[in-house]
Structure 1
Amino acid sequence: MTAEHDEHVIEAIGRSRIVIRGGEVVEVGEARIKECPLAKKMALPVPEITKDAVKANIENRIRAWGMCTPKRDVLDTRTFVGFGASEILSFGLDAGLIDAVVLACDGAGTVVVTKPALVQGIGGRMSGLVSTTPYAEVIQRIEENGGVVIDKGHARLNQVAGVERARELGYKKIAVTVALPRDAETIRNLYPDTIIFGVHVTGLTASEAETFAATADLMTSCASKTVREIIGRKALMQAGVAIPIFVLTKKAKEIVIEKLHQGDEQVLIKTTKLPALGDQQPDPLV
């Protein structure tokens, strides 16, 4: 594969636009926020979001687990955050509440997976993937673990097509991570039983947040002001405080409650108006 085609674009750490070619970070854009409590807890912490700090963090991911390279690890069982998207969805698979998850993977594009360790390995450390290049090695690892890549030739990102493929494969209890409100709306209209998890939502407009509020089952909040204000008020449940996950439907609530039921962590249960936000929020919210 020629160098000009070996390109990955991600949005990470305050929605900085990052371009990776040949395993090297070649471009880092301006972040939309200055600080993030989650970024401060990463494997290589980012206490202040600057271009140099973002570049160093992404380079560490490339070295540590091969992000955006043919060496990309795809399996993991570690919990990175208590109620992240991959943690909730991998638990749902393990508990039998979900039988397939559609998500995005660098080096492969949209994939359908049924193995909890594959969900966590792909999604646990993945940031917002904008575009990617297919790697035969990565695709092979995914397939060896029962995953299905919907476009081996181009590694396209198409969550609607991913849900369609999962249904063609016979899965009924399908969950999907979605970054685009229009995709959430399309999936809800075409496949109403799908569990939709809204992700990568920093900078969402009020109109986009309203679309997600009407279509999603779960939403991460990232550094989004509109998600906290619009979706937070409509949520049935909130998991976490600094970067909350909002639970919007009863079937999603059942997954989170079952995760609490099977866990050993201490838990505070309290009825209150949502959102319930602590002092440690991303700065600024956008």
Structure 2
Amino acid sequence: MPDTDEHIIEAIGRSRIVIRNGEVVEVGEAIITDCPLAKRFACPVPEISTEAVRKNIEHRMKAFGMCTPDREVLDTREFVGFGASELLSFGMKAGMIDAAVLACDGAGTVVVTDPAMVQGIGGRMSGLVRTTPYPSVMDRIEEGGGIVLDRETAAMDPAAGVALAEEQGYRKIAVTVALPEDAVVIREAHPDAFIVAVHVTGMTRDGAAAVAAAADLVTACASGTVREVAGPRALVQAGVSVPVYAMTERGKDLIIEKIRRSGEQVLVKPTRLPVTGGREPEPLV
């Protein structure tokens, strides 16, 4: 066990949460007050308050070991139809992606090749800012065919993760990024990477323009700037309340293929994007 056991995440309206030695020691104020997705969590957050956020995080720690050495890394359940992990997991099953570069609490940047691990890591993880390396979690990932970028520090560096995946021989590489500068650097250094921009709530207009230009998929989260900048340029929008925008043909292909293989009813309608409606997060920031 490392001497410094601390994790910092941003979750549920971009609340800054500090978990130290297995306990939630700090919950910051969220920058939004309402989120339709948070109402559907396994531990729902009907109103975004510090106490509700704390309870949700504590539930995640107990339910699947988030930010603990017992962190589970496999799951096959879909939590959101067009969530980033759901789309990447599907893309891997469909042969459209052969490796995904993700951030995992307890391990940092990892390269994953199992669809169940993509979902197990990403489906229940919020914006990870910093984490502590846990040998047990990293062992679990490696036993499942994954690769940890830095076992000593659990560093988070998506560009280095893509480079590592390329070194291992993977060519259809997807990567999630939360910072616009990471999206730009990866697109320049690795033009074939499939980039998914996540955790964009509170992003500046310049940041939104950067991810709209660099990414294949952009999740809108509670970002007003992403809706304004990426929405009109998108080829496909999946969802309305918290949409995902396909910015490239590859992004469009992934969403359309997931729809094609789904058994759910779907409305397809040519229209100008973005389409708004339903229950959006409040306020958009």
* 1:94 matches 2:105: no
2:32 corresponds to: 33
Indicate conservation of the 8 Å contact 2:2/2:134, yes or no. Answer: no
**Which residue number corresponds to residue 266 of structure 2?**
267
Asked if 1:172 corresponds to 2:159, the answer is: no
Q: Secondary structure at the match of 2:231?
A: helix
Residues 100-249 of structure 1 mapped to structure 2, 5 A cutoff? 100-249=99-248
Name the aligned partner's letter for residue 131 of structure 1.
Answer: R
Distance 1:50 1:248 in 2: 34
1:3-42 paired onto structure 2 within 5 Å: 5-42=4-41
Structure 1 residue aligned with 2:68: 69
The alignment partner of 1:53 has SS state of helix
Instruction: Give the match for residue 42 of structure 2.
Output: 43
Residue 93 of structure 1 aligns to a residue whose secondary structure is: helix
Q: Distance in 1 between matches of 2:245 and 2:235?
A: 8
Q: Residue 7 of structure 1 aligns to which amino acid in structure 2?
A: E
- Give the distance between the partners of 1:153 and 1:31, measured in 2 at CA: 32
TM-score (norm 2): 0.99
- Equivalent residue of 2:78, what SS? coil
Shift of residue 55, structure 1, vs aligned partner? 0.2
Query: What amino acid sits opposite 1:40 in the alignment?
Result: K
For 1:284 and 1:133, the matched residues in 2 are separated by 33
| Percentage of identical aligned residues | 64
Q: Secondary structure in 1 aligned to 2:63?
A: helix
Tell me how far 1:277 sits from its aligned partner: 1.2
Distance (Å, rounded) in 2 between the aligned partners of 1:46 and 1:252: 30
Cα RMSD for the two superposed structures: 0.7
Partner Cα distance (2:135, 2:223) in 1: 36
Separation in structure 2 between the aligned mates of residue 236 and residue 155 of structure 1, nearest angstrom: 36
**In the alignment, residue 69 of structure 2 is paired with which amino acid?**
P
Aligned counterparts of 1:52 and 1:99: Cα–Cα separation in 2:
40
Q: Unpaired runs of 5+ in structure 2?
A: none
Partner Cα distance (1:211, 1:111) in 2: 24
Shift of residue 233 of structure 1?
Answer: 0.8
CA positional deviation for 1:150: 0.4
Q: 1:75 to 1:270 in 2, by over 3 A?
A: same
1:59 paired to 2:58 = yes
Write out per-residue CA displacement over residues 190-217 of structure 1, whole angstroms, 9 at most, x where no aligned residue: 1101000000000000000111111000
Report how far residue 153 of structure 1 moved.
Answer: 0.3
The amino acid of 1:90's aligned partner reads: S
TM-score of the pair, normalised by structure 1: 0.99
Deviation at 1:2, TM superposition (A): 5.3
In the aligned structure 1, how far is the partner of 2:2 from the partner of 2:122?
A: 27
